[in-house]
Amino acid sequence: MNAQTATRRHYLMCRPTYFTVAYAINPWMHPDDEAVDTERALAQWEALRRTYLDLGHDVSLIEPAPGLPDMVFAANGAVVVDGLAFGSRFRHIERLPEAVRYLEWFKAHGVEHGVRDAYLPLGIAEGEGDFLTTSTRILAGTGFRTEPGAHRELEEYVDREVVSLTLVDPRLYHLDTALAVLDEETIAYYPAAFAPESQRLLATLYPDAIHASEEDAMVLGLNAVSDGRNVVLPVQAAGLARQLEARGFEAVPVDVSEFRKSGGGPKCCTLEIRVGGGPERGSQP
């Protein structure tokens, strides 16, 4: 199997200064049962950031805010395609202020073509949690968080095909917990996370996709970040790592287990900034 080709990327991350499990808005969160080890979370996050830098990518930082423990999950803050930032409107009231923080960052630091709020009638939109960008389309999740109306709004805003997929397993509440975009033509996903019609659609669009096991899906192995060759994924997803290697990808395991207490993994902590003409060069401090 020929090796895949990596492309330099620009990521936005938020340091987990205030990260904790303060409430329960998905099945992973148990605020009364399991405390977050803050020092360990900080160390794991820093190791993830360093991994991206060591792979040659740019990493910008948004300032964390007290009272917003899930702001560390930068992927949910927006989706940025072709220099256009499409802001988030969160389903749960606890996370609503995060959307404002991320939109303010994009307005201050700039994306090439514009920033648009998602506080519009068409519905809930939770950024890259439910919008995953490929070279030809955007795969969009619904069923638990993002609403189909936002799929259509995004399609009009960025002028790309948006393909709706329905999630059915509450443990995999965002699309980025059930599916990973690996390169321009390849995805990995856990079929049972999707409604039957969505399974059929994915099989048609991606007949050569990697099918993850339930074991790997349930350690959030598909919450992965790929640059086209290197796939950063939870170290616990050993089976998926072997599948990736067999297909010519380089698996880059990281331990982000503290964030799994909130239902998060590497991708949740990572928002990709995509601009027209290819990945952006140069990062903000």
Residues with catalytic annotation?
Answer: 174, 268
Enter the tokens of residue 235.
């170290």
Burial class (CB in 10 A: 0-12, 13-18, 19+), 208: exposed
Q: 200: burial class by Cβ within 10 Å (0-12, 13-18, 19+)?
A: exposed
CA angle at 52 for the pair 48 and 58, rounded to the nearest 5°: 130
Q: 278: which strand partners?
A: 275
Contact 118, 158 (CB under 8 A): no
Write the secondary structure of 54-105 as one string of H (helix), E (strand) and C (coil): HCCCEEEEECCCCCCHHHHCHHHHEEEECCEEEECECCCHHHHHHHHHHHHH
Residues paired with residue 13 on neighbouring β-strands, in sequence order: 61
Handedness of CA 124, 127, 128, 132 (dihedral sign): positive
**CA–CA–CA angle 93, 101, 181 (5° rounding):** 85
How far is 69 from 85, CA to CA, in rounded Å? Answer: 23
| Strands laid side by side in the 210-211 sheet | 179-181, 187-189, 210-211
